[in-house]
């Protein structure tokens, strides 16, 4: 089997083995796909008129969460996975991001919530994580880097310190339900990119989905009512508080990615620290948002941070803290 030169030479033997295991002697063609923010390299494979995704991760990458989700019909079918080689071949979903696939935002949010419910009904993943420790690590790294400083950041971290953690409601979680990872093929919603998956607080997936897809109180209510059937004040408060935590997590990850360019960007765009989500939407519509670039990462990170700050200054934040206890 002759592979294209764009597949790294040191991975070609393992890729040949993977393709042979998945497709036997069937002729295949391999082309490049643009990936997300992970370090994985992603390719499109075509065989017998069907399309598949070939993903090259670091050797030792565990695919158990993705395989479990595929078995449940939530992730695309997995044809081949090798932890030792860090190679996975899965079905290609020829669909649309859910934001553009449904007749109305309520229908879209309802479908996303139903998918999250199905995922959380799966047995917990063997892979364990600690989101509280992750946030602490991100904050410590942010403070150590000291490329961004000031009252804005201190106030957000002070607000975050008030949020209690609950570690008793753990479920199989994707932990990165952003718009690029949730697709609709015309029949059902699929979730892709399971790199961040582990057993986690159920509200993490709900909060990330709400931050990504539920931009209004009505859509947040639709998300909660679909997932919980009859959510009460406690569920509403838990979701609201976790949404702020997830805004902070995504912001800090963006700052981490943009770190080398931050001093120059602050000098060029002094208003960047005031960015709000509305501006991010305008940048996206104008084709000016590319989260692989440091400029967009810094704008997006500050939009997340400012959203958390705005919400933490609200009466709803104090009420949610009292409700959750």
Residues 48 and 105 in one domain: no
Rounded Cα distance between 98 and 181, Å, is 9
Q: What is the mean pLDDT of residues 203-221?
A: 97
Could you report the per-residue pLDDT of 299-310, keeping only the tens digit for each?
A: 999 999 999 999
Residues of the chain with pLDDT > 70, as a percent, come to: 98
In a domain, 2, yes or no: no
Between residues 142 and 1, the one the model is more confident about: 142
**Residue 173: CATH number of its domain:** 3.90.1200.10
Residue after which a domain boundary falls, among 92, 108, 127: 92
Domain membership of residue 47 as a residue range:
9-92
Residue after which a domain boundary falls, among 92, 124, 140: 92
pLDDT at position 2, please?
83
Residues 79 and 128 in one domain: no
pLDDT at residue 5 tops 80: yes
Give 36's pLDDT tier (boundaries 50, 70, 90).
low
Are the C-beta atoms of 74 and 118 separated by less than 8 Å?
yes
Give 100's pLDDT tier (boundaries 50, 70, 90).
confident
pLDDT at residue 35 tops 70: no
Window from 81-85, 98-102, 125-129 with minimum mean pLDDT: 98-102
pLDDT at residue 39 tops 70: no
In a domain, 3, yes or no: no
**Residue 65: CATH number of its domain:** 3.30.200.20
Specify the long-range contacts of residues 161-165, CB closer than 8 Å, at least 24 apart: 162/321, 163/241, 163/244, 163/245, 163/321, 164/241, 164/321, 164/324, 164/325, 165/132, 165/201
Count of structural domains within the chain = 2
Residues 250 and 101 in one domain: yes
Place of tokens 């690590």: 137
Are the C-beta atoms of 305 and 226 separated by less than 8 Å?
no
Residues 140 and 88 in one domain: no
**Average of per-residue pLDDT values in the chain:** 94
Residue after which a domain boundary falls, among 50, 72, 92: 92
Residues 80 and 201 in one domain: no
Window from 79-93, 114-128, 267-281 with minimum mean pLDDT: 267-281
Q: What is the mean pLDDT of residues 60-88?
A: 98
pLDDT at position 299, please?
96
Rounded Cα distance between 14 and 88, Å, is 11
């Amino acid at each position: 089997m002759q592979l294209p030169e764009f597949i790294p030479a040191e991975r070609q033997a393992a890729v040949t083995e993977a393709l042979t295991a998945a497709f036997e002697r069937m002729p295949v063609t391999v082309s490049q796909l643009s990936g997300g923010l992970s370090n994985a390299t992603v390719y499109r494979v075509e065989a017998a008129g069907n399309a598949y995704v070939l993903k090259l991760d670091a050797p030792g990458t565990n695919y158990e969460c993705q395989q479990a989700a595929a078995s449940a019909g939530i992730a695309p079918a997995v044809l081949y996975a090798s932890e030792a080689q860090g190679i996975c071949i899965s079905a290609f979903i020829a669909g649309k991001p859910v934001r553009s696939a449904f007749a109305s935002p309520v229908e879209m949010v309802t479908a996303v919530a139903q998918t999250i419910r199905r995922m959380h009904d799966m047995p917990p993943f063997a892979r364990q994580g600690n989101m509280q420790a992750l946030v602490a690590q991100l904050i410590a790294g942010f403070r150590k880097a000291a490329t961004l400083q000031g009252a804005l950041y201190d106030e957000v971290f002070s607000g975050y310190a008030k949020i209690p953690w609950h570690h008793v409601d753990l479920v199989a979680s994707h932990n990165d339900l952003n718009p690029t990872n949730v697709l609709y093929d015309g029949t059902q919603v699929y979730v892709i990119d399971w790199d961040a998956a582990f057993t986690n607080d159920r509200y993490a997936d709900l909060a990330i989905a709400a931050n990504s897809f539920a931009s209004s109180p009505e859509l947040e209510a639709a998300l909660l009512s679909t997932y919980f059937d009859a959510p009460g004040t406690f569920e509403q408060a838990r979701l609201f508080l976790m949404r702020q935590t997830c805004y902070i997590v995504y912001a800090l990850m963006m700052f981490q990615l943009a770190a080398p360019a931050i001093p120059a960007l602050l000098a060029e765009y002094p208003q960047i620290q005031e960015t709000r989500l509305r501006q991010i939407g305008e940048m996206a519509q104008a084709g000016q948002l590319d989260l692989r670039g440091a400029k967009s990462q810094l704008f997006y990170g500050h939009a997340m941070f400012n959203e958390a700050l705005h919400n933490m200054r609200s009466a709803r934040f104090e009420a949610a803290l009292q409700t959750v206890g």
